[in-house]
Structure 1
Amino acid sequence: MSSILKRIVAPVALAACLGMAGNANAGVLEFQGVTFTTSFMANVLRLEIDAANPTGDWSTATTLGMLGIKDVGSFSSVSLTAAPPGGLSWTINNNELSANGCVNGANPMKICAFGSHLALTDDMVFEFTFTGGTQDFTSPHLKVGMYEGDSPDKVGSLMSLNVPAIPEPETYGMLLAGLALVGALARKRAS
């Protein structure tokens, strides 16, 4: 391999591997017996909620009535393209989810979805499709409004946490391969 080619290949390989290491496509958060799993592909953010057995101050909750998402980059619009039964009729606006609902702090980079209360179960899947802007779904910030049936009063905490990203095993493999290539080229150069 020529000296010029080595100088180009090594940094490109390292940059590609390091870039991929930061692009995990899944995250998991557990809070009061409920598991939130996010994944994404292109401009679609998928949120699965496993909530059949909430605990803590959500232990009496039987329904979900509000869902807030922020820290997802920029976008010009968003639509709910998959949801549990009854969820596709939910309204989406650009307000911050608070104890009063989706009514405060309008911001074009936040979404708040709400509507008729949905029964808490496992495998509740929501998909949000974003258009325009530049999305970053690696660690979205979630808030949720839990209820007892159709009561207008929320049960317990809104939560308010980022879903931490979990790198896939392939990401680690590519990172290690890139580092091995850089190490091999460095050893060859030293000899």
Structure 2
Amino acid sequence: MKKIMIAIVCVTVALTLSGCNWFSNEAGKFKSALKGREAIIQTYDEDSNIIDRIEGKSIDIGANKSFEIKDSSGETVSKSGVMSLTVGGKTMMHVGSSLILAEKGLTNVFEEYAKTNDITSHDRSVPFVNRMVNGVKNLTTGQKLLILIRSQTGKPLATFAGKDVSYFTTDIDKSTGFIIDGKYLFVYRCDYTVYDLALLDK
């Protein structure tokens, strides 16, 4: 019995460490993966209005380490919420407002839906997300998961769908990285929900 317990503990520790390594590797791959790839960066105000849009190639993104908080032993106790970005060799810094970086090839379902529908409709008989999925069936048919991204006040900003969706931590505070069918998505200071599309078809 004791040997079985030790084996279980060893397997659990191994899985935990491999999970940590996976997240670390994915975060590292995220930074290198964008080099040579094209992506769109957009920032938003509280009402989901786009503040700026930057489109470029060979993007590097990471935390500005100057804003990390460390303890007396030099260990990081609070990650930096300030990001440094390089787009085609040109630099920028960003902090505060919601930001989404989407690799070219990802379709923002919300933008497509907004082109043909009144997104300020107050018809509450059908929830907003269900209406959107039904409104863009051509973009969501065959997909398995849907990511709805909202502003810090809860207003929809962007929506992406895919068959294979995974996520990972980054070195920037209040941010999440996603891989959607092999393409990268970075979300900073946003609320989000990941749905199984089967839940929204009912």
TM-score of the superposed pair, with normalisation by structure 2: 0.27
Which structure has more relative contact order (CA 8 Å, sep 6+)? It is 1
| Rg larger in structure | 1
TM-score of the superposed pair, with normalisation by structure 1: 0.28
Flag the structure with higher helix content: 2
